[in-house]
A and B are shown apart, each in its own frame.
Chain A
Amino acid sequence: MNGSFVEIIIEYFNQLFQMQQRQLVTTQGRVYPMRIRTIFDLRHEWVLVIIGVIVGGLFGFLALINKYPAWIQAACVIAGLLPAFSRHVIDIYVKHGWWSATLTMLVAAQSFHGVEHLVQWVQYHILRWPFFQASGIISAANAEWVHFGWNWLVLATMIVLVIGGLRNPFAWLMLAWTIAHTAEHTYLMWRYIQALQELAALGVPDVSAQGLPGFFGRDGWIATSDVTRNSFVCRLPGFTTAVRLDVHFWWNVGETVLLMLATNMTLRQRNQTDTP
């Protein structure tokens, strides 16, 4: 990658960060090292958090009484929290640089995405909503596009972070995990678009085709393909027996855990290196 466009951009931001940090040290004294808890520590933005909750909640309530879908109500609350989180990310960028700010955004967003899957899990297994209704919070807008877009974003961000120094065994595992997960969502998106085209050809374009099985899990390609039928592979517990919702719940649990472990390891290494 030497001399590549990406390297040039990274180098530019590194120099910018070093200049800003020199100024910060000059004005505020010592900058405390970045830790994993720093990512979730919004205490210094508590005023904006409270205002965000109130304003976002108000808009969410208005959306509720105007009978907008649940995902719009949830989006209002999340939008209310964005100013506080944005300031938090800027603060991390100023103190620790672009790499740490990018990592903060990814870890926080991935954690929220995990909550989304948890909600989906509760809707399906506890509330027993039909599969096509158990779409979580934001995914209810369109589960296929939300998860497809999200996973490509995670993959792109991971690549940037790896280039920027997120390099340890957990990070490599996370990168592989993310590539596989994104590949599955790409397959799902391809099936989704194909199904929509088929439905349109049948004259029923208003029927959603979200939620079709993917590679893995119950009724997935591996479980039902003529290639694997009647072999042990097509009924491996979990691997080809779990419903799609569970499969993706565990995809995200794995992604979140690996990201946390990779982040923790890299931050510790960096902090040791930075210690005089």
Chain B
Amino acid sequence: MACSGAQNIAIPTPAPIVAATLTQIPFAPQATPCGTTFIRHELPHLTAGDPAGTYVYASNGSGLAVGDLNGDGNDDIIFGNIAGTATLYLNDGQMHFTPITTDLTDVRALAIVDTDGDGKPEVVATQRFRRPVIGEFKNDTLIFHDMPDVFSSFYAMNWHDLNGDGKLDVVFGTYDTEQLQHQGLIFNERGGGGVFIYYRNGDGYRAERLNEHADALAIAFPDINHDGISDILVGNDFNRRDMAWIATPTGWQSIEPFSQTTENTMSLDVADVFNTGTNAIFATDMKPYNQDVKTMADWLPAMKKLSRPLTADDPQYPENTLQVWKNGQWQNQAYNLQIDASGWSWSGKFGDLDNDGWQDLYIVNGMVAKDLLSYLPKNQIAEPDMLFVNNAGQKFTRADWGLSDSGSGRAMTMVDLNHDGRLDVVVNPMDGHAVIYENQRCAGNSIELRLVQPHSANPTAIGATVRISAGGQHMMRDVREASGYLSGESATIHFGIGSATNADAITITWPDGSVSHIDNIPSNTLTTITRTE
């Protein structure tokens, strides 16, 4: 495992203004009649655990990623698998998908990202007991090769330009508990695990090891100390504390920014939940939504196996958290907003599913494990996925909208697959078929933006931030590679703007800190914003 000393982090200087050109395409008309629910489309892909039954660790399932692999302007989808193989679905933009099988198996995280800055995105996959691989899409085939200079097996990953050199770096985290079970103590003898940054270095990568132990299920890059620079947050499973590093001029500094955190962090999402221009950080954990006797009896034996005594200064509690920046510190508001309990939760993400200008929260749930849940029928805790509708940032109300599937959801992302201006939902469950939920709620306008940096090694501007005003609301979104649990994000960002007919005062902060201002973008358009300097 190649390691080097700490990397000096370039701190952006005051933002220069850069010009940008716009290309606008109106949204496609709604293909299906308007309704109040999502339409469920089941795909043939099935993520399977072990042939003899799904056990713990395998039951963590596999990721998914979205991105335009074939350059036709539509976001394609790749679903990972454990016992079976990953499947790529090419999207024609009209809810028709062409499957392309791969030989990729035992997949954890997936990304569709332009790792080398050549303008063509690749597929990157972490695998359970192998080093990460990169897949090039050529002639309708994905051809995988080992990722250069990376020799360990990792679980979670996320991509970002962490040293300000304009190239995309990647943060990987190991899942030590599974590796120890698989390899025994030899895992530690071989150097163990932890959290690593791999900085892009020529055609390869140069590693910086941030720590030596992790059970990383999720990695995010929020600005933890509000200095305008992305920091690193790693969510850990199995009572291992989450880890945070802030960027300083001399390198990465470990901190504990939260007074209360999740205990078994399953996913992380960063979103402007209250339209304040400040991101909140949401993490999922395991806590039953209902506390009725039957539910508690289903949960208790498993939870007693997983709980461990904590030390006096431990900030971990087994429930979802929503860290909100208030009065100069992070405060957990999940319980007050009634989003602390959603079941055995995996991917939890924010997105404006009804285009009302406020980001709703969707969480996929459920657990299946032949060993841990041997006492339950089908060895399964079957729970509905949960949608919490954001009511103007004041409270969250649970709704169905056809999204309350009781499959064992794992990876999940929100993306507009058919260019109708509405976020669809894609789920890769465990022991179940992949599902696309087509959004047919027609209320509310929206805008979608694609940022392009033509002469950059980061052409889709991962790390950029966009702020808009619309209908009296001020909203913010980030361009990012991944969020939630093992779930890749689209490079197209989506703003629901309610009844507003346009968005104004658009400010784009590019990954290098440069800023572009755009006066006006009409509603119901997909706008490509190309940086010209």
Q: Which residues of A are in contact with B by a Cβ distance under 8 Å? A: 126-130, 132-133, 191, 194-195, 198-199, 202-204, 207-209, 212-213, 218-221, 224, 229-230, 234-235, 241
Known: A224-B291, A235-B335. A129 touches B301 (CB 8 A): no
Q: How far is the CB of A195 from chain B (nearest CB, A)?
A: 5
**B395 engages A230 (CB within 8 Å):** yes
Candidates B300, B311, B312; contact of A207 at CB < 8 Å: B300
Q: How far is the CB of A201 from chain B (nearest CB, A)?
A: 8
Bin chain B's interface residue count: 20 to 34
Identity of the chain B residue whose Cβ is nearest the Cβ of A235 in the assembled complex: B336
Q: How far is the CB of B285 from chain A (nearest CB, A)?
A: 14
Q: Which residues of B are in contact with A by a Cβ distance under 8 Å? A: 290-291, 293-294, 296-298, 300-301, 304, 307-314, 335-336, 338, 341, 375-376, 395, 397-398
Identity of the chain B residue whose Cβ is nearest the Cβ of A243 in the assembled complex: B317
Q: With the chains together, A220 CA to B352 CA distance in Å?
A: 31
Total CB contacts across the A-B interface at under 8 A: 68
7 tightest Cβ-Cβ pairs between the two chains A and B: A198-B297, A194-B293, A128-B310, A202-B375, A207-B301, A204-B375, A204-B301
Q: With the chains together, A229 CA to B311 CA distance in Å?
A: 33
**B314 engages A195 (CB within 8 Å):** no
Candidates B300, B313, B336, B338; contact of A195 at CB < 8 Å: B300
Q: How far is the CB of A133 from chain B (nearest CB, A)?
A: 7
Q: With the chains together, A212 CA to B291 CA distance in Å?
A: 8
Q: How far is the CB of A206 from chain B (nearest CB, A)?
A: 9
Residues of A within 8 A of B398 (CB): 229
Q: With the chains together, A128 CA to B395 CA distance in Å?
A: 31
Q: How far is the CB of B521 from chain A (nearest CB, A)?
A: 35
**B297 engages A126 (CB within 8 Å):** no
Q: How far is the CB of A105 from chain B (nearest CB, A)?
A: 35
Candidates B294, B309, B335, B395; contact of A129 at CB < 8 Å: B309
Identity of the chain A residue whose Cβ is nearest the Cβ of B377 in the assembled complex: A202
Residues of B within 8 A of A209 (CB): 296-297, 300
A-B contact pairs, 12 of them (CB 8 A): A126-B312, A128-B311, A129-B309, A130-B310, A195-B293, A195-B297, A195-B300, A202-B298, A229-B398, A235-B335, A235-B336, A241-B335
User: Besides A132-B307, A198-B298, A202-B375, 13 other CB < 8 A contacts?
Assistant: A128-B309, A128-B310, A128-B313, A128-B314, A202-B298, A208-B304, A209-B297, A209-B300, A224-B291, A229-B338, A229-B398, A230-B338, A230-B395
Q: With the chains together, A130 CA to B305 CA distance in Å?
A: 12
Residues of B within 8 A of A126 (CB): 312
Residues of B within 8 A of A224 (CB): 290-291, 341
Identity of the chain B residue whose Cβ is nearest the Cβ of A206 in the assembled complex: B301
Q: How far is the CB of A152 from chain B (nearest CB, A)?
A: 21
Q: With the chains together, A209 CA to B294 CA distance in Å?
A: 11
Q: How far is the CB of A188 from chain B (nearest CB, A)?
A: 11
Q: How far is the CB of A163 from chain B (nearest CB, A)?
A: 37
Residues of A within 8 A of B376 (CB): 202
Residues of A within 8 A of B375 (CB): 202-204
Q: With the chains together, A219 CA to B335 CA distance in Å?
A: 9
Q: How far is the CB of B252 from chain A (nearest CB, A)?
A: 28
Known: A126-B312, A127-B312, A229-B338. A191 touches B293 (CB 8 A): yes
Residues of B within 8 A of A194 (CB): 293
Q: How far is the CB of A130 from chain B (nearest CB, A)?
A: 5
Known: A127-B312, A133-B309. A219 touches B297 (CB 8 A): no
